[in-house]
Structure 1
Amino acid sequence: MTERSPSLNDPFHFINERQVDNISLEFFYKPHTITALACSIILLFIWAFTRSDSALEKNIWNGLQAVLFMFIMISLICFPNGPFTRPHPALWRIVFGLSVFYLMSLQFLLFQNFNDVKAILRWLDPERLNKMKLEEKEYAVNCSQVNATRIWSQLDIFAAGHFCGWAMKAMLVRHYGICWYISVSWEITEIAFSHLLPNFQECWWDAIILDILLCNGLGIWVGMVVCRKLEMRNYHWESIRQIRGTGGKLKRAALQFTPASWTTVRWMDPNCTYMRIIAVWILVVIWQVTELNTFFIKHIFAIDTSHPLVIFRLFLIALIVAPTIRQYYKYVTDPNCTRVGTQLWVFCAITLTEAILCIKFSRELFAQTQLLLLCIWLLVLLFGTVVCVYLCIAWASRSRKDNSDFQTNNDLNMKKNSLFTTTGTDMTTKNPILQVDMLKCRRRANSQPMEQAD
C-alpha cells in the first residue's frame, strides 16, 4: 500500500508545513541540527564564562536573552514552515517562534498587577517608560477651518505610516472590496470607541480625506498594483549555479526575497453562502481588535508611539499576519481543509490575550464602556460585511459575464476566419470577384475583436 504525499493531498499540511520545490542549493535546505546544537552550546558557554556576573539586573537581562536565543534555535529546528518558503522556511519558523514567545510573555504579564508591569517597563527603559500618563495629540480641534494649508500640515510621519501599512495590507488581503471596507470600518471603530480614547476623536475631513481617500486609498492602490504585477509574472527560478556572470547571480539572489509563486485569491465567490459572510465578518472584527489593542496598550501603559517597543510589536504583528491570512483564507475557502493553521491559532490567542490584558489593567476605563454602542458597532460591522460581500459578488459576476461574452465573440470570429481560409480557398482562386469579397470579410472579421477590446 503506497503512502500518500501529505503536501499534495492534505490542504492543512500545505499551509502548515509547506515543502520547498525545486531546490537549487541543497546546502541551505539540508538539516544541520547537530551543527546548530554544537554552535549554540559553544556560544552560550563562551558567553556565560566571559561575562561579569556581579550586577543582578544585568544577570537577569542576559539570562532572558539566553532564553530567547535558545527558544529561537528550538523554533528554527522543530517548528513548522508555514505556508511560505521564500526567502527561506527558516525565517518563517523563527517568526512562528517569536509569536509563541510573545504569547508566553503576555501570559506572564496577565498574572501580574499594574504596578509590577510598570516596574518591568521601567526596568527595560527607565527614561522613556516611567510615565504614568501619556500626552497624546488632539486631532478634533477647529474642525470648521478647512483649507489646503491645514490639510497639508497634517501630513506627518503617521500619514506615511498609514500609506505603507495599507500597501502591505493590500498585498496580504489582495481584494479591493475587503481592503476598502476595512479602511472605512476602522473609522467607524474610532467613532465607537472615542468615548474611551479621546485620541480617536478627529475632524471629518481628517477621517475622510486624509485617512480613507488619500493615505489608505493610495496605499491600497499601490498594494493591489504590486499584486497584479506578481499575478501576471511567470516564475522560472533558475539555480544560481546555472547562471553565468556576477550580475545574473546577484539578480537571482535578490529574487530569492520575492514570492516563489503567487496565489490569486477569490474571497467573494459567486456561489458563496452565509458562511462566507461570517468568515469575512470575523476577519474584519479580529482586524479591528488587533488595531484597537495597539492604541489601548499605548494609552494604558503610557508608551510613546515612537518607542522601539511599539515599533517592534508592530513589525512582529506584520510578520505574523502574513502567514495568518494565508492560513485563514485556505481554511474558509477550501472545504477539504478542516483545521486552522498553527500560526493562525497563535495569532488569535495573541489578539485575545492582549485584549484581556487591556481590560484587566484598565478596569476603570472599560467600566465607562457603553454596551449599547458596542453592540451597535458589531451589528454595523455585520451589516457592512453583508453589503460588501453582495456588492463584490455582483461585481465579480458582472465582470465574469463580460469576459465570457468577450471570449464567445472572439471564438466566433476565429471560426469565421477559419471558415474563410479553408472552404473558400478553391472558389476564390478561380474567381477574382470572390477574392475581393473574401478580403473584405476577413478585414471586417478581424476588426470586431479590436472594437470589443476597446
Structure 2
Amino acid sequence: MKSLYFFVFSLLTTLLLFNANALFDFNTRITISLVMSFFNFITLNSVMQKYAMIPNISIFTKIINYLILIYYVIITYLHFFSTSEVRTILRFLNKNIEFHAVEKSYMENCNTFENVSDKIDWFVCAHLWGWFAKGMIIRNFFLLNINSAIFELLELRFQHILPNFYECWWDHIFLDVLSCNLIGIASSMVFMKYFNIPLYDWKIPDKIKPNKKNIIFPTVDKLCRKVFTNSSTLLLLIFLSFIINIIDLNVFFLKAELKLNHVNLIVIARTFAIGFISGKACKEFHCFLKDG
C-alpha cells in the first residue's frame, strides 16, 4: 500500500509543479520534468510490480505493462511544456521532421456522387483498419456501431476546429458509417469468430428484481430491457462510449495541435501504443465486471 501512496504523492507533486510553470524558465522546467519523470517512473513501476505483474503473466502482457509505464513517463515529461516547445523538442530529436499547419478538408464538390473518388484516400484505409482494430478491442457489435455513429456526430460538432472533420453529408453516412466503419467492424467479428476469440457482453447482471407495478410505459420498458438489460448496463455503455470517443478525439486533436502529418511515425506509433493499452484495459475491465 505504501507504493500506491508514494505514487499518488508523486503524481500530485507533478501536477502542483505543472500549475506553477510560469515561475520557471525553459531550462529549469527541463530539469524539473526530468526529476519528476524519474520519480513517477520509480513509483508507478513499484505499483505495477505489486498489483499488475502477477505470477504466470504472459510475455505479451508484460510488454504492454512496460509500454504503459514508458508512455506515462513520456506524458509526464512533456506535460511541463507548451505545444510550441514540444515541437522544438521533436525537431531537436529529429531534424527532418515536418510540421503541417493546414489539414485537408473533405467538403468540396458535395453536389454529385461523381466526386466520391475525390474523397477516397489514405483515410479510407485508416477507417477500415481503425474500426477493425476497435472491433478486436471492444468486441461488441452493438457498442461499436453506436460509437461509429456517435463519432460522426462529434465530427460535425468539432469541424470548426479541425478542417479534416469537414465532410459531405453522404461522406458521413455512406462512406463512413455504412461502408468503411461497418466493413471494418464486421470483418473483426468474422475474424474473431473464425479464430474462436470470445466477444465481450458489456452487461451488468441484475442483482435486484425490478418492480414493474408502477411502470408508465411497459412496452418501452420491455424494449429497453432487451437492449440494455438494466439501468446499470445503460450507464456502463454510456461510460464506455465516453471513453472511446475521448480517446478517438484525442488522436485527432493532438495531431492537429502539434501540426503533425497523419503518416508521421510519432502519430502512428502512439496510435498503436494506445490501441494495445486499450485492448488490455478492455480485457481486464470486462473480467472485473464478469467476475465481480
Deviation at 1:81, TM superposition (A): 5.0
One-letter code of the match for 1:142?
N
- Given the alignment, which residue of 306, 331, 334 partners 2:288? 331
Verify: 1:310 aligned to 2:275, yes or no.
no
8 Å CA contact retained: 2:106, 2:119: no
Partner of 1:265: 200
Larger Rg: 1
8 Å CA contact retained: 1:170, 1:224: yes
8 Å CA contact retained: 1:190, 1:200: yes
Verify: 1:117 aligned to 2:82, yes or no.
no
Deviation at 1:185, TM superposition (A): 0.6
Deviation at 1:199, TM superposition (A): 2.0
Tell me, in whole angstroms, the C-alpha distance in 2 between the residues paired with 1:273 and 1:198. Answer: 40
One-letter code of the match for 2:178?
L
Tell me, in whole angstroms, the C-alpha distance in 2 between the residues paired with 1:222 and 1:269. Answer: 27
Structure 2 unaligned blocks of 5 or more: 1-37, 207-228
Verify: 1:143 aligned to 2:110, yes or no.
yes
Q: SS of 1:180's equivalent?
A: helix
RMSD over aligned CA atoms reads 2.8
8 Å CA contact retained: 2:103, 2:162: no
Partner of 2:152: 187
Tell me, in whole angstroms, the C-alpha distance in 2 between the residues paired with 1:82 and 1:315. Answer: 24
Q: TM-score, with normalisation over the residues of structure 2?
A: 0.70
Partner of 1:275: 232
Tell me, in whole angstroms, the C-alpha distance in 1 between the residues paired with 2:116 and 2:83. Answer: 39
Tell me, in whole angstroms, the C-alpha distance in 2 between the residues paired with 1:115 and 1:138. Answer: 24
Partner of 1:126: 95
Partner of 1:348: none
Tell me, in whole angstroms, the C-alpha distance in 2 between the residues paired with 1:328 and 1:139. Answer: 37
Deviation at 1:264, TM superposition (A): 4.0
Q: Taking structure 1 as reference, are residues 169 and 82 closer, same or farther at Cα in structure 2, changes over 3 Å only?
A: farther
Aligned 1:14-413 pairs, distance under 5 A: 78=49, 80=52, 89-129=58-98, 131=99, 134-147=101-114, 150-231=115-196, 262-268=197-203, 271=206, 272-334=229-291, 336=292
Tell me, in whole angstroms, the C-alpha distance in 2 between the residues paired with 1:84 and 1:163. Answer: 35
Deviation at 1:83, TM superposition (A): 12
One-letter code of the match for 2:131?
W
> What percentage of aligned pairs have identical amino acids?
29
Q: Taking structure 1 as reference, are residues 82 and 324 closer, same or farther at Cα in structure 2, changes over 3 Å only?
A: farther
8 Å CA contact retained: 2:138, 2:279: no
Tell me, in whole angstroms, the C-alpha distance in 1 between the residues paired with 2:250 and 2:266. Answer: 14
One-letter code of the match for 1:110?
H
Across the two proteins, how many residue pairs are aligned to each other? 228
Structure 1 unaligned blocks of 5 or more: 1-66, 232-261, 337-454
Tell me, in whole angstroms, the C-alpha distance in 2 between the residues paired with 1:84 and 1:208. Answer: 46
8 Å CA contact retained: 1:83, 1:323: no
Tell me, in whole angstroms, the C-alpha distance in 2 between the residues paired with 1:84 and 1:193. Answer: 45
